[in-house]
Structure formats: structure tokens, C-alpha cells
Structure 1
């Protein structure tokens, strides 16, 4: 019996990986993130999670002003050892059309980061990522949770420029109607329906 050699990324270097090292890695599982220099692997998506991503990407893209676009599951470089992959983002049109880099965005490209919480991402989406998004200057953050009877609950936050932390601006259940980062109205009961 022969044992295949382990990929180089299995054992992190002292101090963790940098974004540059992360970008050169091959063979990583889909949706791997770099947080604090460590590789974060995610479990397979559940149907509810995917349906929420579809709804939010579609609605945000349709409702965004012409200079903004919505994208999903793209890495964002926040710093030397930080490259998370938000579930849905709203970026500038220029950033979306930029040829290089082709595989990620920069923090300054984002107007909104949305995380859809899964059982394995609760602490990252509630604690770790919001702090990092705020520190990187991303102006808006939404956390989407699965409530009772599979209903969607959205916790919306806006960056306070004085404290450089997110402050809550609302909790939404059946309908997400908010004026920032642009006027948005999403029927949260439409999860899984054809758009």
C-alpha cells in the first residue's frame, strides 16, 4: 500500500499563511477561506442556505443602482492574513468588470457583505467575520439566520466610523425593507420561489 504525500497546505507555516501563499495553493476544497492565517474549510451547503444565497444575490443585483452589482461566493482580501468568502456581496461595477484580480475583490470594493449562517459557521458569522469586515472598512454587514419553521431572519448592521465597529440598524423577519446601502425591499418569504 502506497501513501500519497500530503499537500503542502495541510501543515501551516509558523505565523500562518499569507494571502499570497493562499492564492498560490492548488487542490483546496471549494469555498476554503483564510482567516487569521488559518485555512477554514466549510461543510457542504444545505438547500436552505443555497436558496437564501440565490434570493439575496438576485434581489440585490436587481435593486442596486447602476454603479453597483451583487456577486456571490467570491473571496475578499481584507489584509495580509485575511481572505474570507462572504456568501453575497455588493461591489462597485468597476470592481466587477476589473480584469485583474479575477478571483477576488478588495475590501474597498464592497458596500455590503452578507453571511448566511450555517451550523458550522455560527461563531465565524456572528463574531469573527463582522469584526474583520468592520476593521477593513466595509460599510454594511447583514447576517442571515434560519429562524423557526425555516423562516429567514436578517440582522442588518452599519459601520460606525467613530468606533470602527458595526452597529445594528434592524432585525427583519417577513420583509427586509431598508434604505442603506441603497433602497432595498426583499420579500423574505420568497425563499425557494422562482425569480
Structure 2
């Protein structure tokens, strides 16, 4: 689904021509809107081939199967955040955020405006609708979650970013806040055992209970 005023200047409505170049990208490159036009099957008929894919700086990135820690953290942390969020905010998991014409990551969890969350036709959210992004680090996504994505989220003006790491099966949450003077994230705390923060709303989570 496109959001009016998203600023894209790409008018392509079909990706069949782009797939003729597979596995190389098309000469004109992939765009954020192409993700809504990808077929259900892969170029060789593979089922659900494009089911879990992100667009990172114009490149399609396929998400690896999740480890159990990752899946449990997504489910339990999403539930914990949604239970504590004020009425105008909602916690959703594994939904795209369209940062620009060629940048459309799929964060593990986002806190968004409830008015956007209740729209079941949405396939992505825009930075102005997002208050917090949470990425749970997997071995294959370390560089993206620690370097590429935080830089892009900050560049898009998203105020809060959390990075969740596993320490022998226990979650450790690195909390960042956007510095308006620099436009970059500043680390405000590393949380073990319990996460208590006042923004983007008062949050108190027993981290040791989440992966269970």
C-alpha cells in the first residue's frame, strides 16, 4: 500500500521486467514500492520465496529463519510493550518501515500511532508514524542491526531505537535516543535483568522472564 505524499518518483507498477534480471538486480534498481508487487512465488516457482525480504539501500535482503530466542523475544516483548503503551500508541511486530525510495527494512518490533496500527490494509509505516524501533540481533544480521539500520533510522528522524542482544540466552537491551543537535543516536543505557525507561512512554519490563 502506498501512503500519499511519500515522495517517491518511481512510476513502475509491475516487477516482472525486473525479475528477468534475477538474481542480479535490474539496471534501474529495486525500490521500496516493489516489495508490494513481488510475486508469491520465486523466479523458479519457489513457494513463499519473497515472504521475508527487506530492502536495504536498494538491495533485496532475505531474512534467515529465526532462532527460538529471537522468536520468543519478538512475541513476549511486543506483548509487554503493547500492554504498557498509552491508548494512542501500539506495539506491532515484523512490519516494514519505509524510510525512503530505496530503503524499506522490516524491524522486529515498532511502536507506532494506534490510528496507523488499526489499518489492516497497511503493508508499511512511515517514519513520522514510528516512535520506537526494536531490532533483535541474530548472527546473520549483526552488521545490519548494529550499523546500517540504526544509521538509517536516525537519518529518518525516528526518536528511539533499541538493540536487543543475547547474552547466553538472557536479553540485554541497548537503548538509544536521537540527539536533535547531531541527528544521530546516543546510547542512554545498557539494561540487564530489568528495563525501566521513561520514553517514549513509561516502560518497566522484567527482561529475564521474556525468553521463557
Task: Confirm or deny: 8 A CA contact 1:116 1:145 kept in the other structure.
Answer: yes
1:175 is the counterpart of 2:188: no
Task: Confirm or deny: 8 A CA contact 1:15 1:37 kept in the other structure.
Answer: no
Structure 1: gaps spanning 5 or more residues: 1-5
Counterpart-to-counterpart distance in 2, 1:42 and 1:99 = 23
Task: Confirm or deny: 8 A CA contact 2:58 2:103 kept in the other structure.
Answer: yes
Q: Which has the higher helix share?
A: 1
Q: Which moved more, 1:124-133 or 1:104-113?
A: 104-113
1:103 is the counterpart of 2:103: no
The equivalent of 2:3 in structure 1 is: none
How many residue pairs get aligned? The number is 186
Task: Confirm or deny: 8 A CA contact 1:89 1:112 kept in the other structure.
Answer: yes
The equivalent of 2:33 in structure 1 is: 20
Kindly report the root-mean-square deviation, in angstroms, between the aligned alpha carbons of the 2 structures.
1.6
> Which secondary structure state, in structure 2, belongs to the residue aligned with residue 81 of structure 1?
coil
- Report the TM-score, using the length of structure 1 for normalisation: 0.90
> Which secondary structure state, in structure 1, belongs to the residue aligned with residue 116 of structure 2?
helix
Cα offset for 1:14?
2.5
Deviations 1:18-69 (A, max 9, x none): 1122321113433200011100011100100011111110011000011000
Task: Confirm or deny: 8 A CA contact 1:53 1:72 kept in the other structure.
Answer: yes
1:11 is the counterpart of 2:24: yes
- Report the TM-score, using the length of structure 2 for normalisation: 0.83
1:150 is the counterpart of 2:173: no
1:121 is the counterpart of 2:141: yes
Counterpart-to-counterpart distance in 1, 2:89 and 2:161 = 16
Task: Confirm or deny: 8 A CA contact 1:60 1:70 kept in the other structure.
Answer: yes
Structure 2: gaps spanning 5 or more residues: 1-17, 42-48
1:112 is the counterpart of 2:112: no
